[in-house]
Amino acid sequence: MRVISRATLRDFWLDPQNQDSEQPLKAWYDEAKCAAWKSPHDIKSLYRNASFVGNNRVIFNIHGNKYRLVVSVNYTFSIIYIRFVGSHAEYDKIDAATV
């Protein structure tokens, strides 16, 4: 899969408040980059706790659910768009289906 954009993840983990997210986000990125997801079932087989909402949005729990990652997946073109990365409290303030 092509992940757009790693810079969003990097900017997040470089923030001193989120430094503990670096290794979990890098691990997620490396797995996603090498994946060949064709359907939500493919994601669910690797990430049992992934949640699916409208507009092909997928929510991943990062670092023991301390952080949330929301992505939009285009299965046809094998592209993952990073839509949101933040703390669980910040996630509670957004609409994952429209972010």
pLDDT tens-place string over residues 7-38? 999 999 999 999 999 999 999 999 999 999 99
Sheet holding 57-62, edge to edge: 2-4, 79-87, 67-74, 57-62, 51-53
Q: Give yes or no for a cis peptide into 5 (omega within 30° of 0).
A: yes
Domains and CATH numbers, the chain: 2-91 (3.30.2310)
Q: Is the pLDDT of residue 96 over 90?
A: yes
pLDDT for 1 equals 96
